């Protein structure tokens, strides 16, 4: 059998029902381009791997003994792939018929592009506005902070989140959502895939930035549609917030140097101070809740600043 044109890599971690639905959508169609499907099970304990092996024996199933997190798991699947193109596909997605073939067709017809991503929609069909501009020093201060509630912080945040783009037409974008991301496999390999220091977050941002800096454009392509359950693949991850901040520190260290890292540390401390004030207001008159939330915040800080 000849090598496939497209390798679809699905990372699964305790999302059995979602992963099976994702696979059902893929195998419900006869693709235009020959494809292989690789599932990397990241140490699930909900029976995902066995259920996948039973329902879809044609899938290449990689079983990890532990959760290697997003970047390492996707790289593991992508580096095992054989296709001309590789598409990383979150387990909480369901590709509409023809969507992945359309991504392949776009890259074949447009050699100047390094990557393409589809339009994402909610289960009710509404469009997810998830493309963003690259994070800057100022957007770091305003995002998820009181500083972003008033002008000029509110303008900086809206610009960063591309709220000026309705996501209803195709265009080049700095960074599309990483839930579905299609590249040429040899280019993915040459670039080293996802940066595994950005274990769970900012890895798609970093890859998009590296593509643009190499002169490779990235396309948001509305002719391909994929349904996406927002955040379903990470909602069970208890230490999500700590990892998000650690990955943000690593991203700014990589692209802004030591001063960038120091700035983010300062921004995080400001955010912690904001949260302390919010806890005081939220728990007024409830000393038990106040103690519990402060203890949780203290533990999160210890984990965040630990090397």
Q: Which fold has domain 6-131+167-228?
A: Spore Coat Polysaccharide Biosynthesis Protein SpsA; Chain A (3.90.550)
pLDDT in tens, 240-293: 888 999 999 999 999 999 999 999 999 999 999 999 999 999 999 888 999 998
pLDDT band for position 146 (cuts 50, 70, 90):
confident
pLDDT of residue 2: 74
Q: How far apart are CA 161 and CA 150, in angstroms?
A: 15
Residue 302: predicted pLDDT: 87
Buried b (16+ CB within 10 A) or exposed e, 41-65: bbbbeeebbebbeeebeebbbbebe
Q: What is the pTM of this model?
A: 0.92
* Per-residue pLDDT tens over the stretch 222-241: 999 999 997 654 454 447 88
Q: Cα 258–263–265 angle (5° rounding)?
A: 95
Q: Are 206 and 195 in contact (CB under 8 A)?
A: yes
C-beta atoms surrounding 14 within 10 Å: 19
Task: Tell me which H or E stretch contains 121.
Answer: strand 113-121
Give the chain's mean pLDDT: 94
Q: How many residues does the chain have?
A: 307
- Among 153, 133, 155, 46, which Cα is nearest to 91's? 46
Task: In whole angstroms, give the CA distance from residue 2 to residue 232.
Answer: 35
Going from N- to C-terminal start, the domains of the chain cover 6-131+167-228, 240-305
**CB-CB contact of 97 with 237 (8 Å):** no
d(CA 179, CA 298): 32
Q: Across the strands, what pairs with 38?
A: 9, 60
């Amino acid at each position: 059998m000849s090598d496939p044109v497209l390798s679809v890599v699905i990372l699964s971690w305790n999302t059995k029902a979602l992963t099976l639905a994702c696979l059902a959508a893929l195998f419900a169609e006869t693709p235009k381009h020959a494809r292989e499907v690789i599932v990397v099970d990241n140490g699930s304990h909900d029976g995902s791997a066995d259920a996948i092996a039973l329902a879809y024996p044609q899938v290449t199933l990689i079983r990890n003994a532990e959760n290697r997190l997003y970047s390492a798991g996707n790289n593991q699947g992508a580096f095992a792939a054989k296709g001309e193109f590789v598409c990383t596909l979150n387990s909480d997605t369901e590709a509409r018929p023809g969507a992945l073939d359309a991504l392949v067709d776009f890259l074949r017809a447009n050699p100047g592009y390094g990557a393409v991503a589809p339009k994402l929609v909610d289960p009710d069909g509404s469009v997810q506005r998830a493309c963003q501009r690259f994070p800057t020093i100022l957007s770091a201060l305003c995002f998820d902070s009181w500083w972003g509630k008033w002008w000029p912080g509110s303008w900086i945040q809206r610009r960063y989140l591309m709220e000026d783009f309705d996501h209803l037409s195709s265009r080049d974008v700095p960074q599309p959502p990483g839930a579905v991301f299609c590249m040429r496999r040899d280019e993915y390999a040459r670039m080293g895939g996802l940066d595994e220091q950005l274990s769970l977050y900012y890895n798609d941002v970093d890859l998009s930035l590296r593509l643009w800096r190499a002169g490779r454009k990235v396309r948001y392509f509305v002719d391909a549609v994929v349904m996406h359950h927002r955040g379903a693949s990470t909602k069970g991850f208890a230490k999500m917030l700590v990892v998000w901040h650690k990955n943000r520190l690593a991203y700014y260290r990589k692209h802004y140097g030591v001063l960038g890292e120091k700035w983010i540390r300062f921004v995080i401390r400001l955010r912690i101070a904001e949260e302390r004030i919010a806890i005081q207001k939220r728990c007024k008159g409830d000393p038990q809740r106040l103690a519990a939330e402060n203890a949780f915040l203290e533990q999160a800080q210890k984990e965040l600043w630990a090397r």
